[in-house]
């Protein structure tokens, strides 16, 4: 069947929020698309880059799969055999918790050519939104990216880098705080929680590990990343770049 492949698939990282966070290369490739398979968290404004393309929603949210992963792979193969250029538009960066491996495997088995265009992942957008570099000279030399929940639905928290960023943590922030304390983080470790990073309505709040659960109400129902350690600490005297929403009283201090 490899000889039947007539098109190619371009995986594009759309960035974590507003459409203008896509890269120049990503926008250029998107403009060439005949069909676009897009994720739930991609900005609808991205359609303006490819108004001629057919857009197919294959999004997933919070573990509830609107489209089965195997079905997405099969759809990519079928579309690549029917169209010249198929774009797989993923939120953030395709290679960071984007299920890229499974889709590359499906296309490789069918002999279909691929390209990957990187994007801005949510950890970087959260750092930019709050003016908090993930790495710090001397005290923050390593950064870890993790999902808070495993594929089996269990929560995990570790202490493997100077800065740890946890994705998909919004529903169990209190449990995550307890897991991180058990893993060896100190009680006074700074934690910054950002939801909808990269969007105009982003929210950010500061916490200690012991009271991380207090952030749950503020960030409820919003895609959330949790930064722990050196990269969560506010930079002294840094100016605020854009208004962040303030946490209600009792929920945690606003960041920065």
Token pair of 115 as six digits: 């390209």
Q: Across residues 216-241, what is the average pLDDT?
A: 86
pLDDT for 75 equals 95
Identify whether residues 96 and 112 lie together within a single domain: yes
pLDDT for 246 equals 43
More reliable by pLDDT, 2 or 213: 213
What's the domain count of the chain?
2
Given 129, 149, 162, 168, the catalytic residue: 168
- Grouping H, G, I as helix, E, B as strand and the rest as coil, residue 9 is strand
Q: Tally Cβ neighbours within 10 Å of residue 11.
A: 27
Residue range(s) defining the domain that contains residue 137: 122-254
pLDDT for 150 equals 74
More reliable by pLDDT, 46 or 137: 46
Q: Is 168 a catalytic residue?
A: yes
Round to whole Å and give the CA distance between 133 and 128.
7
- Of 82, 97, 117, the residue that ends a domain is 117
Closest CA to 85 of 193, 6, 195: 6
pLDDT for 231 equals 96
Beta strand pairing call for 85-90 and 35-38:
parallel
- Average pLDDT of the chain? 88
- Of 117, 138, 161, the residue that ends a domain is 117
- Residue 58 scores a pLDDT above 70: yes
- Residue 112 scores a pLDDT above 60: yes
- Of 83, 117, 151, the residue that ends a domain is 117
pLDDT for 197 equals 96
Identify whether residues 111 and 232 lie together within a single domain: no
More reliable by pLDDT, 189 or 151: 189
Q: Is 60 a catalytic residue?
A: yes
Given 39, 43, 162, 206, the catalytic residue: 39
Span 149-187, pLDDT tens digits = 877 777 888 888 999 999 988 888 999 999 999 999 999
Residue where the block lists tokens 């007539």: 6
Q: Is 149 a catalytic residue?
A: no
Q: How confident is the model at residue 60 (pLDDT cuts 50, 70, 90)?
A: low
């Amino acid at each position: 069947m490899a000889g039947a492949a007539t098109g190619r698939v371009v995986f594009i990282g759309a960035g974590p929020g507003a459409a203008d966070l896509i890269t120049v290369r990503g926008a250029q490739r998107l403009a060439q698309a005949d069909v676009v398979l897009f994720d739930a968290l991609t900005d609808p404004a991205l359609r303006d880059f490819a108004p001629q393309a057919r857009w197919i929603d294959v999004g997933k949210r919070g573990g509830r799969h609107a489209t089965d992963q195997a079905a997405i792979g099969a759809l990519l193969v079928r579309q690549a055999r029917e169209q010249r250029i198929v774009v797989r538009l993923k939120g953030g960066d395709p290679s960071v918790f984007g299920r890229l491996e499974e889709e590359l495997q499906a296309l490789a088995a069918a002999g279909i050519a691929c390209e990957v265009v990187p994007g801005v992942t949510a950890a970087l957008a959260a750092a930019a939104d709050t003016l908090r570099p993930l790495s710090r000279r001397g005290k923050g030399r390593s950064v870890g990216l993790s999902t808070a929940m495993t594929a089996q639905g269990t929560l995990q928290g570790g202490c493997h880098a100077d800065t740890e960023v946890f994705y998909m943590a919004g529903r169990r922030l209190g449990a995550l705080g307890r897991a991180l304390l058990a893993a060896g983080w100190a009680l006074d470790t700074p934690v910054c929680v950002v939801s909808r990073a990269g969007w105009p309505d982003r929210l950010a709040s500061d916490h200690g590990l012991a009271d991380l659960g207090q952030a749950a109400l503020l960030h409820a129902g919003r895609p959330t990343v949790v930064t722990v350690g050196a990269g969560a600490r506010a930079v002294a005297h840094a100016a605020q770049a854009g208004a962040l929403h303030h946490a209600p009283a009792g929920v945690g201090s606003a960041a920065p």
